[in-house]
């Protein structure tokens, strides 16, 4: 069982370049007298707003193109009587995107980050030395959007040697994909495994799992448990009983702390699976009672597991210019002024922003367009044991007053 990663205090993170989603390549929107385009730095697969302003083109339709290396989108918007419109669009890949109108020279460039991912290894508690273990799973979850990760996962030994590779297949969860990896244990005893996700496209970020350590034995393990490396209070998780090589099929009765959640589950390709939502933190005893279809094939597997506390929400620090934004205010920006907006999350997750009201967000730069209130929304996507979160910050935009 792996110890959970410690959550870093927000004050210790700082606003380092590595912690920011706002890439230095992002630039402000062009703002000639004919109008402007403004959209924030974003994340592949996550919808965002594009704000248009062309006062001389009121009540007309505007065609636009959004392009990045290997990707292109056609967009359109209908301007209101003031020549303004907001259209939603979704970047399909990471990189620098250029957005331009088809009727004039107005254009803007922004940076789009890849979708963050989290990888974990689900291995049976016991595996047989020298026998291919095809029941090891690698699970990759996209922390934003509902597009499953695509690509492959590489399983590695403690020395970093490649043990096997599996290609991802979509799972029941629309943001999750699973790869079955066959590998052959080459020594007896505890065996440390890690898995690395290799994205098929730039839209997803690579990730590496924490270490799991199945026990490699010399004989045939008739049945053993397989589950996620970290189970948390209240979270429904798959728990499987895995038969050893060439063990005849049958059925498995599951007991959690002596309580059977349902009747026996038949094995399918050597695996029986049920679900469990741990009720409390701490140690729990799991018992799998296997009964084979052939006489004499039966076994009991016991597994003690430490259940971790429920996941906690992420927290965000947002900075405008040199000032840390406050969720309850006061926050202010002078009309006509432009300042850079940046953010960091306690989890280390990327932070993406949106802005509505009396301001426009072009890449990482926020501009006050007129008097009123601008609402900045920041989103972070969590990670291992940390839930995604969102925060809003009101910014008052007003003319600068001078005292006599």
Provide the CB-side half-sphere exposure for 112 (13 A, CA).
29
CA-to-CA dists, residue 334 to 87, 95, 228, 370, 396, angstroms: 26, 31, 51, 9, 8
pLDDT over 80 at 29, yes or no: no
Same domain, 244 and 273: yes
* Domain end marker among 91, 113, 135: 113
Q: Across residues 240-248, what is the average pLDDT? A: 87
- 210 and 288 share one domain: yes
At 1 the pLDDT is 41
Asked whether residue 186 falls in the same domain as residue 291, the answer is: yes
Q: Is the pLDDT reported for residue 25 higher than 60?
A: no
Least confident of 14-28, 231-245, 254-268: 14-28
Q: Please give the angle made by the CA atoms of 177, 148 and 171, to the nearest 5 degrees.
A: 40
Q: How confident is the model at residue 384 (pLDDT cuts 50, 70, 90)?
A: confident
Kindly state the percentage of the chain with pLDDT values over 70: 90
C-alpha dihedral, 53 to 55 to 60 to 66, nearest 10°? -30
- CATH code for the domain in which residue 394 is found: 2.60.40.1080
Same domain, yes or no, for 203 and 175?
Answer: yes
pLDDT at 177: 96
The answer, yes or no, to whether residue 66 has pLDDT greater than 90, is yes
Taking the complete model, does pTM exceed 0.85, yes or no?
no
pLDDT at 34: 61
Average pLDDT over residues 13-32: 30
Asked which of 13-17, 47-51, 381-385 is least confident by mean pLDDT, the reply is 13-17
Statement: residue 235 has pLDDT above 50: yes
Instruction: Look at residue 7 in the predicted model and tell me its pLDDT.
Output: 38
Q: Are residues 105 and 143 in the same domain?
A: no
Q: Is residue 7 part of a domain?
A: no
Same domain, 181 and 262: yes
Q: Would you say residue 320 lies in a domain?
A: yes
pLDDT of residue 402: 57
Return the CATH number at 87.
Answer: 2.60.40.730
- Statement to judge: residues 188 and 274 lie in one domain: yes
Where is pLDDT greater, at 327 or 35? 327
Considering 82, 113, 144, which residue would you say is the last residue of a domain? 113
pLDDT in tens, 195-231: 999 999 999 999 999 999 999 998 888 888 998 888 9
Which tops the pLDDT comparison, 260 or 165? 165
The answer on pLDDT for 391 being more than 90 is: yes
Q: What is the mean predicted confidence (pLDDT) over 253-266?
A: 86
Same domain, 253 and 132: yes
> Quick check: 61 pLDDT over 60?
yes
Task: Tell me, yes or no, whether 301 lies in a domain.
Answer: yes
**Domain span holding position 288:** 117-307
- Number of domains the chain contains: 3
Give me the chain's average pLDDT, please.
87
Q: What is the mean pLDDT of residues 83-109?
A: 90
What's the burial of 130, exposed, middle or buried (CB within 10 Å: 0-12/13-18/19+)? exposed
Q: Beta-carbon neighbour count of residue 150 at 10 Å? A: 18
Residue 400 domain-assigned (yes or no): yes
Helix H, strand E, coil C: the string for the chain is CCCCCCCCCHHHHCCCHHHCCCCCCCCCCCCCCCCEEECECEECCCCEEEEEECHHHCCCEEEEEEEECCEEEEEEEECCCCCEEEEEECCCCCEEEEEEECCCCCEEEEEEECECEEEEEECCCEEECCCCEEEEEEEEEECCCCCCCCEEEEEECCCCCEEEEEECEECCCCCEEEEEEEECCCCCEECCEEEEEEECCCCECCEECCCECCEEECCCCCEEEEECCCCECCCCEEEEEEECCCCCCEEEEEEECCECCCCCEECECCEEEEEECCCCCEEEEEEEEEEECCCCCEEEEEEEEEEECCCEECCEEEEECCEECCCCCCCEEECCCEEEEEEEECCCCCEEEEEEECEEEEECEEEECCCEEEEEEEEECCECCEECEEEEEEEEEECCCCCC
261 φ/ψ sector (left φ>0, alpha ψ -120 to 50, else beta): alpha
Same-domain status, 99 and 33? yes
Please indicate, yes or no, whether residues 93 and 167 belong to a single structural domain of this protein: no
CATH number of 255's domain: 2.60.40.10
- Do residues 137 and 76 share a domain? no
**In-domain check, residue 5:** no
Q: Is the pLDDT of residue 333 over 70?
A: yes
Lowest model confidence (mean pLDDT) among 10-14, 83-87, 101-105? 10-14
């Amino acid at each position: 069982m792996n110890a959970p990663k410690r959550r870093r205090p927000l004050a210790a993170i700082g606003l380092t370049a590595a912690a920011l989603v706002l890439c230095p390549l992002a630039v402000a929107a062009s703002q000639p007298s004919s109008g402007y385009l403004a959209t924030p730095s974003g994340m592949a697969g996550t919808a965002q707003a594009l704000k248009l302003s062309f006062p001389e083109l009121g009540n007309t339709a505007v065609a636009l193109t959004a392009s990045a290396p290997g990707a292109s989108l056609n967009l359109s918007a209908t301007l209101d009587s003031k020549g303004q419109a907001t259209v939603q669009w979704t970047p399909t890949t990471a990189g620098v995107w250029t957005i331009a109108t088809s009727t004039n020279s107005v254009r803007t460039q922004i940076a789009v980050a890849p979708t963050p991912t989290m990888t974990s290894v689900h291995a049976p508690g016991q595996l047989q030395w020298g026998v291919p273990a095809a029941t090891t799973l690698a699970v990759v979850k996209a922390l934003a959007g509902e597009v499953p990760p695509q690509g492959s996962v590489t399983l590695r030994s403690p020395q970093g040697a490649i043990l096997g590779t599996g290609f991802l297949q979509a799972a029941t969860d629309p943001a999750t994909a699973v790869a079955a990896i066959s590998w052959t244990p080459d020594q007896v005893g505890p065996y440390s495994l890690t898995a690395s996700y290799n994205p098929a496209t730039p839209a997803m970020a690579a990730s590496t799992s924490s270490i799991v350590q199945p026990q490699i034995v010399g004989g045939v393990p008739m049945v053993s448990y397989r589950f996620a490396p970290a189970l948390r209070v209240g979270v429904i998780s798959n728990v499987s009983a895995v038969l050893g090589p060439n063990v005849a099929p049958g059925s498995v009765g599951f007991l959690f702390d002596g309580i059977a959640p349902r009747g026996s589950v038949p094995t399918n390709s050597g695996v029986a699976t049920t679900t469990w939502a741990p009720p409390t933190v701490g140690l729990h005893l799991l018992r799998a009672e296997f009964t084979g279809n052939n006489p004499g094939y039966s076994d009991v597997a016991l597994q003690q597991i430490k259940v971790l506390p429920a996941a906690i929400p992420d927290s965000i620090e947002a900075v405008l210019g040199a000032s840390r934004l406050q969720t309850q205010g006061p926050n202010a920006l002078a009309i006509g002024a432009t300042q850079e907006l940046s953010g960091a999350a306690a989890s280390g997750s990327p932070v993406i922003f949106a802005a509505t009201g009396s301001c426009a967000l072009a890449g990482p730069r926020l501009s006050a367009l007129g008097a009123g209130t601008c609402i900045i929304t920041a989103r972070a996507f969590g990670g291992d044991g940390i839930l995604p979160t969102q925060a809003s910050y009101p910014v008052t935009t007003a003319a600068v007053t001078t005292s006599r």
